[in-house]
């Protein structure tokens, strides 16, 4: 029902703006109404299990603080963010080849995760740390438009965004029960393997509320846009840049963003 209401509101907004020959905000004219779907990786620098443990409540950190996960057993890590955004493109009369794009984005079910697995340790056991959260983001980018033909434009410029995650959840999945293993390290691997084979260690699964986060990124952006009927522009945008993430309890940590957006823009006037 909420999605239906949002769609009706968007159609109403497009209709109202289309009915006007021009719509100005200060010295800027609203040029386009933007809608896009995106996918990005926002990789945390040096991502490992410690990043997830540091966010947990102190009462739970003790279960993992003494653990010594060998970096060589790091199987893989991901930081993936699907997104949907709605925004406006502005144009200044004195700068006709520049576009100022502003949007609000919702990144649903963002995921950060690392997995440890090794046949040499734990007899082939695994440990996975992951967190999932929703991010609300405000973004702004200034792009130069290079017309190639009447129907094709190339864009390039810079942008930044600021995102907020109101709550976060971190989960741990493991074939080793951390409630039983008081000190999991590579000095007691023989004991761990022996007792695991005897069935004394069971699987471990727990989730913890780990609070709010803030993200900020700065990026280079490039893309193309193909116009149809002088009213619809379909395009693809690529972004590459750096930023930081903080959870308000630990030091900020650097991030690297690579993003792809498929967009549809309704041109109000041309």
Mean pLDDT in order along the chain per 10 residues (270 residues): 46 50 75 93 87 80 66 70 93 91 93 76 71 93 95 96 91 73 45 43 75 93 94 95 89 93 88
Closest of 192, 228, 237 to residue 89, by C-alpha: 237
Distance CA 80, CA 109 (A): 9
Distance CA 135, CA 79 (A): 13
Range of the domain at 178: 23-267
**Does residue 217 fall inside a structural domain?**
yes
Bridge partners of residue 235, in order along the sequence: 225, 263
**Does residue 18 fall inside a structural domain?**
no
Residues found in the chain = 270
**Does residue 103 fall inside a structural domain?**
yes
Distance CA 204, CA 232 (A): 52
pTM over 0.85: no
Q: Which residue has the tokens 């919702």?
A: 106
**Does residue 4 fall inside a structural domain?**
no
**Does residue 216 fall inside a structural domain?**
yes
CA–CA–CA angle 107, 112, 117 (5° rounding): 155
**Does residue 14 fall inside a structural domain?**
no
Check if the beta carbon of residue 246 is closer than 8 Å to that of residue 221: no
For residue 72, the model assigns a pLDDT of 58
**Does residue 96 fall inside a structural domain?**
yes
**Does residue 5 fall inside a structural domain?**
no
Distance CA 252, CA 140 (A): 22
For residue 138, the model assigns a pLDDT of 97
Q: Enumerate residues 6+ apart whose C-beta is below 8 A from 60.
A: 206, 208
Torsion angles phi and psi, residue 65, rounded to 5:
-60, -35
Number of domains in the chain: 1
């Amino acid at each position: 029902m909420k999605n239906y209401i949002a769609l009706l509101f968007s159609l109403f907004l497009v209709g109202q703006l289309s009915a006007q020959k021009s719509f100005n905000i200060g010295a800027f004219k609203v040029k386009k109404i933007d809608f896009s779907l995106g996918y990005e990786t926002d990789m945390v620098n040096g991502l490992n299990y410690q990043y997830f443990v540091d966010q947990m409540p102190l009462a739970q950190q003790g279960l993992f603080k003494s653990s010594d996960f060998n970096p060589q057993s790091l199987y893989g890590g991901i930081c993936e963010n699907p997104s949907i955004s709605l925004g406006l493109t502005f144009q200044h009369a004195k700068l006709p080849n520049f576009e100022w794009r502003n949007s609000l984005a919702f990144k649903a079910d963002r995921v950060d995760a690392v997995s440890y697995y090794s046949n040499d340790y734990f007899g082939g056991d695994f440990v996975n740390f992951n967190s999932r959260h929703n991010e609300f983001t405000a973004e702004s980018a200034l792009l130069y438009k290079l017309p190639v033909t009447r129907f094709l434009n190339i864009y390039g410029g810079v942008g930044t965004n600021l995102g907020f995650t109101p709550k976060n959840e971190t989960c741990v999945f493991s074939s080793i029960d951390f409630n039983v293993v008081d000190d999991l390290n590579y000095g007691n691997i023989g004991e761990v393997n022996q007792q695991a084979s005897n069935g004394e260690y069971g699987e471990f699964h727990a989730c913890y509320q780990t609070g709010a986060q803030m993200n900020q990124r700065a990026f280079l952006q490039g893309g193309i846009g193909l116009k149809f009927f002088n009213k619809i522009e379909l395009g693809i945008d690529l972004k590459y840049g750096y930023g930081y993430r903080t959870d308000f309890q630990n030091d900020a940590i650097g991030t690297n963003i690579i993003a792809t957006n498929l967009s549809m823009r309704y041109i109000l006037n041309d």
